[in-house]
Structure formats: structure tokens, C-alpha cells
Amino acid sequence: MANVDFTVGDALGTAEFPPCNDTPNDNHHTEGPEPTTAYAVDGLDPRIAIAVRYTSEQVMLLAVQAGGSLPPEVEDLTRH
């Protein structure tokens, strides 16, 4: 999710980005999953949302619930 104000909490454990080879003519795709660390998001239950480090400068918020919508707690973060 982009443009969401959140604070990364404690490390939860190891996570993985699946291999990506969906860009035509890109010879730099990864062959296997890329390890990363999953983090809690301050104020949210990890069953609702987690954060993962995407690059050295970017942290990504990941949240979804059954049916593909965002949990209300995460929707609240997008309204600030």
C-alpha cells in the first residue's frame, strides 16, 4: 500500500518475496524466493497487517481480508 502513515514495530520473523519473472525482456528476475523480514505494525494486530522491507529505503505494508477488501483498521490509516 502506498501513501499510508504507519510505524514499523518489532521483527516477527522471516518472510519471502515470491520469484518475479513477469517483465518481458528482463534478464534480472530472480530464480527463487527472496528472503526478507516481516515486522509488526504499531497499533495493529499482525493477523491484520504486517510490514516487510522491500528495499533498503522502502517498507511495504501488507494487509488483506477475506473477499480482498482492506480491514477497517487499515482503512483508517489511509484517511489521515
Percent of the chain predicted with pLDDT > 70? 81
Amino acid in position 37: T
**CA proximity to 41, closest of 53, 31, 51, 29:** 51
pTM: 0.71
Q: Which three cell numbers stand for residue 23?
A: 517483465
Q: Higher model confidence: residue 57 or residue 78?
A: 57
Residue 46: count of CB within 10 angstroms of its CB: 15
Which 8-state DSSP code applies to residue 30?
Answer: -
- Residues 37 and 33: their CA atoms lie apart, in Å, by 13
pLDDT tens for 33-60 read 888 999 999 999 998 899 998 888 888 8
